[in-house]
Amino acid sequence: MGGYLDKNFSKDSKITIILMVIFSTAFYEILKYIFNIVISHFYIDVWQFAKTLGKEILYNGLLTIILYPLLKKTGYYIENVVKGNKILTRYF
């Protein structure tokens, strides 16, 4: 899923990144909820699940707002180091 989103969405738009994190969090939590019901026959109250989902979406969204600029700068730095030294392109 990350590879698909990487190719089809801009990494420069902060709103796009936040929306991807929100939808990825919701998708993961819903799959985990279904997995718990099907495999372990563990039923969770839907209201409790909705509250937990809301908290996790809010928490992950806030972390994305705070940490994304730092991760973006680090990624660009690493990309420049790799391309500057031609470490990977020398072999391909």
What pLDDT digit, counting tens, does each position of 43-90 carry?
A: 778 898 899 999 999 999 999 999 988 988 888 888 777 776 555 555
Domain presence at residue 90: no
Residue 42, pLDDT score: 74
The number of distinct structural domains making up the chain is 1
Domain presence at residue 28: yes
- Full domain range(s) for residue 12: 2-85
Residue 28, pLDDT score: 93
Which two structure tokens, joined as six digits, stand for 90? 């020398």
pTM of the model: 0.69
Please say if the pLDDT value at position 2 is more than 90. no
